[in-house]
Chains A and B, each alone.
Chain A
Amino acid sequence: MIKEGSINGCLAGKILRINLSNGKIRTEPTAKYAEKTLGGRGVNSLIMINEIKVGTKWNDPKNLLCFGVGSLVGTMAPGTCRTDVSTVNVFSGGKGSANVGGFWGSELKYAGFDNIIIEGKSENPIYLYINDSDIEIRDANLIWGKTIFETENILHQELSDREIKIASIGPAGENRVRGSAVIIDTAKAAGGSGVGCVMGDKKLKAIVVRGHGKINVAEPKRFMREVAKCYQQCKNEPNVIMMRKAPFNKYSNPDYEGWNTNMVVRNGQDDYWEREKRIELMNVKTGVPNIQKGTRACYLCPIGCMPFMEINKGKYKGTKGEGFWINTIMGNACRFDISDPKEVVKSWSLANELGLDGDYIAAGLSWVFELYEKGIITKKDTDGLKLNWGNGDALNKLIKKLAYREGIGDLLADGMVEAAKKIGHNSEYYLIQVKKQPSIEPFRIPKGWSLAVSTSPVAGRHLRGATMGSNTCGPRPRPGNFNVIDYHNQAKGVVWQGKTKELEDNLGICNYVGTWTGANFLTLDNFVELINSGMGITLTKEELMDHYASIGINLEKAFNVLHSNISREDDLPPKRFREEKVKSGPYKGSKVEGTKYNKMLDEYYELCGWDKKTGRQTRTGLEQLGLKKIADKISKYDKLVM
């Protein structure tokens, strides 16, 4: 276990706290939080549960917006670039968290900070300029109202420094569109939970960082020996080339199994997308791959998974940028039945330009398309847009309306659950959401994925334990069942993957370079050696998994129990997928079987040490993790199971 005062490497050392209501800036040491959680997301979660009072809403000035860079970020450990953004979830009212790569997190550490905690709310639009230890709150009038791309260009000019790194919001965040993202380096999104909406509510347009400092490790020679080993493993990993070309290499093949197991079609009417549409979208010579002009990597990444896209002709000529990914195929193509590659690429680019979460667009707006198909809304409601399946032009116009709150966009901007209440006519049934956040995930076919997404403490996202990646290409052995369509023993895999993801978020390791996609990428043994030699501590693999990998999920669960009353019912997949079967394809007839799913959920709660009936935590479980104070707090609200 980590002893008090023993960490002597990897951390930048300070947490920066800025109160936007009164302009006060202060710092405090990171170590006391990192000793309990290892860093990154864990530090954010600890600060949130300790400091945000029960009853605080996302738009309350007392809500905190927390940026947490992983402990290994800034060192040479491969794939370490990740930053967690946490706040009150604008959808569920519980824990909100989104994770992002790029170059911003490492820059913050070179400037001397591990975390930034934003308190209060500014009266006027501002941005933060962190230049090593010089911290300025600056007027943002020049950039308010601008797109992400325009904002970055203006800031580079104004500050006369092309090496600054920028985390900003677009017009969507400014307009407090619920599904707004924080965008880093123009293309990397901290997407979920509405973190960009909270940033906009605080009138914080951007956080600009420039760092000239260094990160030390406790035992440099020993640390670099492990780093060299990690790079060699990554080089030898057979999946590395596949990962580098994933959307194109695999999905260009219309018979690739992922087309059958991962896609949700026409807002969940089916989970099978017709073969001819797959070919039209992903044909190597005429489809999305033809729009790719190169590939880029995040900081220190040995995989390099970001295609650089550029449309050279037609009405979208000049659209370009990095980061197109499989989610765009799942979301903006299949869910809308759009097989025109340029329309799909444009919709992805618009999300980045306007600062929207791609999943919110996909799950939220495909629901609107279905309401149009069913006649629940008509052209009168959509300002004349014909929201027919396959109409990419209409989707791209609707995305702009959403970001700028124009016409129907204003109704949708306050969240789809709220919109459904206003629209009525049983429209909420067709909305695919978990804990009120629209979700693009597949639920009916991959069972471990379904369990992980439904139980995710940050509402309907797969980066808290979804196991399909590791079923198809990830590390073996690992606990759980590798047959994705089977219910049996999936909970073990979900809990294991959730724990390793927690370590990755706390250390700042990308999930792809970590435990998700390849047997030879970084393993738990690598984690232990990197932490021990880097931070100067002596942890065992058992301590890492049994204690430190379990703290974060319990902090997030506790936050949800205290702040949003999330119960067992909220850990079920969307109702539609429990009632309607897949209509076509090899998995025709599949749906979420209630009894089998509930058995899986029982196993999941049991493995987490939570009460099966309510899904809530127990005093014994929390005290075993040293979280007695949190147990007392939950008990005070009569929500602890004794």
Chain B
Amino acid sequence: MYITINPNLCYSCKTCQLVCSFHHTGAFWPSKSSINVFRNPQDGIIEWSINSTCDDCKDEDTPLCIKYCVYGALSFFKEEKKGKKL
């Protein structure tokens, strides 16, 4: 299972990070999120990472980070060859 990012589409609103934490804890707790978005407002750099706690939101139809990304920056593939893993 692969979650991929299109860097050109991400606005770094961090909605993915917060909804991920809700999935894990039932609270809004960004430090418990599997996905992390970092942005440097001075040089425009955005960085993304997913740690090993990601469970692909198995109990959901679509991983919540993807469902709530209004910019369409995140995608989900079941086959390895279709996307670069985040």
Flag if B27 contacts A214 (CB, 8 Å): yes
* In the bound complex, CA of A295 to CA of B39 (Å): 12
Q: How distant is A297 from chain B, measured CB to nearest CB, in Å?
A: 4
- State whether the Cβ of B75 lies closer than 8 Å to any Cβ in chain A: no
* In the bound complex, CA of A164 to CA of B52 (Å): 24
* In the bound complex, CA of A105 to CA of B22 (Å): 19
* In the bound complex, CA of A74 to CA of B42 (Å): 24
Selected from A110, A163, A187, A300, the residue in CB contact (under 8 A) with B13 is: A300
How many A residues, CB 8 Å from partner?
42
Flag if A304 contacts B22 (CB, 8 Å): no
Selected from A76, A162, A220, A293, the residue in CB contact (under 8 A) with B38 is: A162
Flag if A300 contacts B26 (CB, 8 Å): no
Q: How distant is A387 from chain B, measured CB to nearest CB, in Å?
A: 31
Flag if A224 contacts B15 (CB, 8 Å): no
Task: Give the A-B contact count at a CB cut-off of 8 A.
Answer: 83
* In the bound complex, CA of A300 to CA of B22 (Å): 14
Provided the pairs A214-B28, A215-B27, A235-B70 are in contact, do residues A186 and B42 lie with their beta carbons within 8 angstroms? yes
Selected from B13, B18, B43, B68, the residue in CB contact (under 8 A) with A304 is: B13
- State whether the Cβ of A294 lies closer than 8 Å to any Cβ in chain B: yes
Flag if A74 contacts B13 (CB, 8 Å): no
Q: How distant is B65 from chain A, measured CB to nearest CB, in Å?
A: 12
**Interface residues in B1-34 (C-beta closer than 8 Å to A):** 11-15, 18-19, 21-22, 25-32
In the complex, which range does the number of interface residues on chain B fall in? 20 to 34
Flag if A185 contacts B70 (CB, 8 Å): no
Q: Which of B18, B31, B70 has the most CB of A within 10 A?
A: B70
* In the bound complex, CA of A231 to CA of B72 (Å): 13
- State whether the Cβ of A596 lies closer than 8 Å to any Cβ in chain B: no
Point out the residues of chain B lying under 8 angstroms from A185, CB to CB: 41
Binary contact track B26-58/A, C-beta < 8 Å → 1, others 0: 111111100000111111100000000000000
Flag if A76 contacts B22 (CB, 8 Å): yes
- Say whether chain B's binding surface is mostly helix, strand, loop, or mixed: loop
Flag if A322 contacts B44 (CB, 8 Å): yes
Flag if A320 contacts B27 (CB, 8 Å): no
Point out the residues of chain A lying under 8 angstroms from B27, CB to CB: 214-217, 220
Flag if B41 contacts A187 (CB, 8 Å): yes
* In the bound complex, CA of A74 to CA of B22 (Å): 11
Flag if A300 contacts B18 (CB, 8 Å): yes
Point out the residues of chain B lying under 8 angstroms from A320, CB to CB: 42-44
- If A103-B14, A212-B31, A304-B13 are given as contacts, then 17 extra A-B residue pairs at C-beta distance below 8 Å, sorted by A number, are A74-B28, A76-B18, A76-B68, A110-B30, A162-B40, A186-B41, A187-B41, A214-B32, A215-B28, A220-B26, A294-B44, A296-B41, A297-B13, A298-B13, A302-B15, A304-B71, A320-B44
Q: Give me the interface of A with B, judged by CB distance under 8 Å.
A: 74-76, 78, 103, 110, 149, 152-153, 162-163, 185-187, 212-217, 220, 224, 231, 234-235, 240, 293-302, 304, 308, 310, 320-322
Q: Which 8 pairs of residues, A with B, have the shortest CB-CB distance?
A: A214-B29, A297-B11, A297-B13, A304-B11, A214-B27, A302-B70, A212-B31, A215-B28
20 residue pairs bridging A and B, Cβ less than 8 Å apart = A76-B19, A76-B28, A78-B15, A110-B29, A162-B38, A212-B31, A214-B21, A215-B27, A215-B28, A215-B29, A216-B28, A217-B27, A217-B28, A296-B41, A297-B12, A300-B15, A301-B11, A304-B71, A310-B44, A321-B41
